[in-house]
Amino acid sequence: MNEVRNKVARHYDEVAEIYDRRYDRSRGRSYYSHISRHVLACLPKGRNLLDLGCGTGLFVQHYTGQGGKAIGLDLSRGMIVRARSRCGGSQFAVGTAEVLPFRDGCFDAVASLLAFSYVHEPEKMLREVYRVLRPGGSIAVCTLGRNLLTSGLPAVYTLGEAMRIRHVGMGAFRERYYTVDEMKELFLDAGFEDLLIRRCTFAHLNLIDPLYDIARRLEPFVEENIPQLAYNILASGKKSEE
């Protein structure tokens, strides 16, 4: 397991610059901002946030832009370097989500965007999140869900690695994609209450023109009326007030 973690860290060290360009320009910015709005809607504003798998600090920038404070954690040192450059007023550290280097009850909110699939011990991560949250604190996770489209991605990524394609996420990392029911079970087992678990996002930045623009216009309708066509899963909950 440590070998896979190290492999993920090395990969994102190598593609940190590409990742930054991918999600902070043009349609990538639109895509990431859409996900961020979903996550932000599940979290208290202006509080103390922990961002797990923070990447180059994009979500930390979103959250602190609304008056909150944030700490970011990521496996990749390359990502952390860019996050510190982007968000000079926030703190960032290299680490793993399964063993959080923070005391009990020190955060009001925990977020994770597009990183949960890489967590190989999700039960342990969620128990750690529960521990570091204050009573009544909130968690929101957005991750790639399992459907017909995503079921073939691990094979594609393995092939891409063999072909030495330098692309974000292109590698055999044993990532896992979840159903709504699986996310619900994980969150309940960790002790979270007031769960909201649903599919979101329809316009993926890898779509070619004009399909991307069409998908973006259809996105609100799909999310509201045909969620089974959406490919990300948004899962949120709260720690008990007691």
- CA–CA gap between residue 167 and residue 11 (Å, rounded): 9
Residue that is written with structure tokens 């949120």 in the block: 236
Amino acid at 210: P
Q: How confident is the model at residue 176 (pLDDT cuts 50, 70, 90)?
A: confident
- CA–CA gap between residue 109 and residue 45 (Å, rounded): 9
Whether residue 201 contacts residue 231, with contact meaning beta carbons closer than 8 Å, is answered with yes
15-62 tens-digit pLDDT: 788 888 888 878 888 899 999 999 999 999 999 999 999 999 999 999
Whether residue 187 contacts residue 205, with contact meaning beta carbons closer than 8 Å, is answered with no
The model's pTM is 0.88
Q: Which residues contact 39 (CB under 8 A, 6 or more apart)?
A: 59, 111, 113, 140, 141, 142, 234, 236
Task: Show the domains of the chain with their CATH numbers.
Answer: 2-238 (3.40.50.150)
Position with higher pLDDT, 170 vs 72 = 72
- CA–CA gap between residue 194 and residue 49 (Å, rounded): 19
